[in-house]
Homo-oligomer: A and B are copies of this chain.
Amino acid sequence: MYGSRSHYSRRLRVLTIQELLDEVLREIRPTEEEIGKALSIYEDIKEAVLKEINIPYPFKIELEGSVAKGTALSGELDLDIFLLIKYPEMGKEWIIKHVVNPLVKTLSSRYRTQLRYASHPYIRVLSSGVEADIVPAYWAATVEEIKTAVDRTPFHTRYIKKSLTESQKDEARLLKKFFKGVGIYGAEIRVQGFSGYLSELLIVKYGDFLNTLRNIGRWRLRQVLTVGDVDEDPKTLRLLFRDHPLIIPDPVDPRRNAAAAVSRRSLAIAIAASTFFLRSPTRKFFFPKPETLPLEALEETLRRSRRRLLLLLYGMRPGTPPDVSWGELRKVSRKVLNMLKEQGYEVIDWSVWSNDEDLAAAAIDIDEESVEREYEVRDGPRIIGQPVVSFISKYLNREDALGPWISQEGIPKVLLARRRSNPVEALKDLGKELSTPDLEVIQVTDSLEEFLSRVDVKDKGKILQWLTEAVVKTPSWLGAVKTSGSDR
């Protein structure tokens, strides 16, 4: 421990925390050339769209998102090009027929183009490494007028542009990269974390990156923050956003919780990671290097800790939106979890993975002893009276029971033999229930090797990385603290 501390101190002598942040910023701030290239792609697309579009309503094209707000990260300059149309009656069908279809036709001659639907139809265009989404939306004069969630985006762009100074935009970049590094960046179901907009709001609130981290370290569950003019009291807001782990009313539309997507887990990680970064600031929080151990090491660790990894491999219906597939993946995993718990297996942990294209997987970490257990103790009701009698009656004539008896504490108990089952077989017995509309189970196994044999080479690296974390347990951002000494 002293060894790693003094190593760390040596580093500190040449790099203060501010120097570290400056170094990170130099890497994540896009170059002028990079921005120039993205903006020229925007201009090209804008021109193409303007040329093609032919509708009898007022409309305008506007750049939204992080490039517009000046908070984009280098290498990730994706464009959100909004086509704002002043036609209150426009619906999905109308958009597809009068906007999306004609545009796809034109654009696909110049770009790699995909037609996309989330809750809203839009077009994705790929041009020299830049992903540009062309999103038709209703051109609302005020946020009260919006029809769907996307219509709110221009208001967000405007709010952040006017609220952040140039240097604060860099602070927002640091925070986004930090959240990304510790795995909680993004509001999508896969992450259930902090969106770009939410990160920017935190900089609006707390001024800079380090102060944001200091404040996050003091957060609690059901933390309420207000940014901008919002002046509802926390009690009302907690009633309004029942069950939301973090509550930050959107300053642009206070009826909405800008942190609605943040799960308990992401909140806990944000608090812990902020605290540990301030204790031991290292590059690894921004640029994690997830560990990958060889198969044999993973198997040995599982054996040594007497655990078994139940692995499910899913084929995914092509074109399934990630929010749908991750939602199904979580849901089916919970079903599997409950079944395993009901059958007496002790679940230590679980996690899910997907390549967001054609493959998904779930790993359920169970206690090997709970597999091997031959008898389990069942406690009867603690309420003394006839429930005790019913419990005893139930088990009295079972050949596979020892007891029942009444404990020294007066609680009826029985030692019940378990069908000594194979959890893989138990899972397979679930049959169709293991699959969902978009995920079809390909394989159920407790052998890492067997599991990997069905995974395509292109996915093997990512899968092994995911399995390594499932086995070794320490997430990579925490691993960073581990090696550099945590008790500074």
What is A's interface to B at a CB cutoff of 8 Å?
1, 217-221, 245, 263-265, 267-269, 271-272, 275-276, 301, 304-307, 346, 348-351, 367, 369, 372-375, 377, 383-386, 388-389, 392-393, 396-397, 402-415, 417, 472-475, 478, 481-482, 485-487
Contacts and interface: CB of A to CB of B under 8 A. Distances in A.
Quickly give the copy total for this chain: 2
Contacts of A271: 384-386, 388-389
Closest 8 CB pairs of A and B: A264-B410, A403-B473, A221-B384, A265-B410, A220-B385, A305-B375, A369-B369, A275-B389
B272 A472 contact: no
Contacts of A367: 377
A276 B396 CA distance: 11
Contacts of A405: 349, 473-475, 478
A482 B219 CA distance: 58
Given A263-B410, A275-B386, A397-B485, 19 more contacts: A1-B397, A219-B385, A267-B384, A268-B406, A272-B412, A304-B375, A306-B375, A349-B407, A369-B369, A393-B487, A396-B481, A396-B482, A397-B486, A402-B472, A402-B473, A403-B473, A403-B474, A404-B478, A405-B478
Given A221-B384, A408-B265, A410-B268, A348 B369 contact: no
Contact of A486 (B221, B388, B393, B417): B393
Contacts of A306: 373-375
B264 A384 contact: yes
Q: Which of A245, A410, A482 neighbours the largest number of chain B CB atoms within 10 Å of its CB?
A: A410
Contact of A402 (B301, B372, B392, B413): B301
A305 B415 contact: yes
Contact of A408 (B350, B397, B417, B475): B350
Contacts of A267: 384, 410
Nearest to A269: B406
Nearest to A330: B408
Nearest to A302: B402
B383 A415 contact: no
A246 to B, nearest CB: 10
A349 B478 contact: no
A377 to B, nearest CB: 5
Given A267-B410, A392-B272, A412-B268, A474 B397 contact: no
A324 to B, nearest CB: 19
Contacts of A346: 377
Nearest to A385: B220
Given A220-B385, A271-B386, A385-B221, A392 B478 contact: yes
A352 to B, nearest CB: 9
Q: Which of A350, A388, A402 neighbours the largest number of chain B CB atoms within 10 Å of its CB?
A: A402
A384 B397 CA distance: 47
A87 B245 CA distance: 74
Nearest to A405: B473
